[in-house]
Amino acid sequence: MGWHYRKSIKVGPFRINLSRHGVGHSFGNRRFRVTTGPDGRRHVSVHLPGGFHIGKTLGSRRYHRHY
């Protein structure tokens, strides 16, 4: 069984996400958010009224890890 770590620090509309895999960050609000993960991929998500959610991942990983 592996170990997990996750911590999020919010500074205004910015959020810094710390995890075992590295540091990621996100920007936005409840309706629109852009997130960059520790591997460099970006995810854009839009939350619409009525519970609809649209998301798209852009780019590819900068590196590959084997666990």
Is residue 36 within 8 A of residue 42, CB to CB? The reply is: yes
18-22, 49-53, 59-63, range with the lowest pLDDT: 59-63
Is residue 17 within 8 A of residue 6, CB to CB? The reply is: yes
Which of left, alpha, beta for 57 (phi over 0: left; psi -120 to 50: alpha)? Answer: beta
Percent of the chain residues past pLDDT 70, beyond the cut: 88
**pLDDT per residue as tens digits for the range 16-42:** 999 988 999 999 988 999 999 988 899
- DSSP one-letter code for 46: E
Task: Find, among 32, 35, 3, the residue nearest to 19 by Cα.
Answer: 3
In the chain, what are the domain boundaries? 6-59
Q: What is the mean pLDDT of the chain?
A: 87
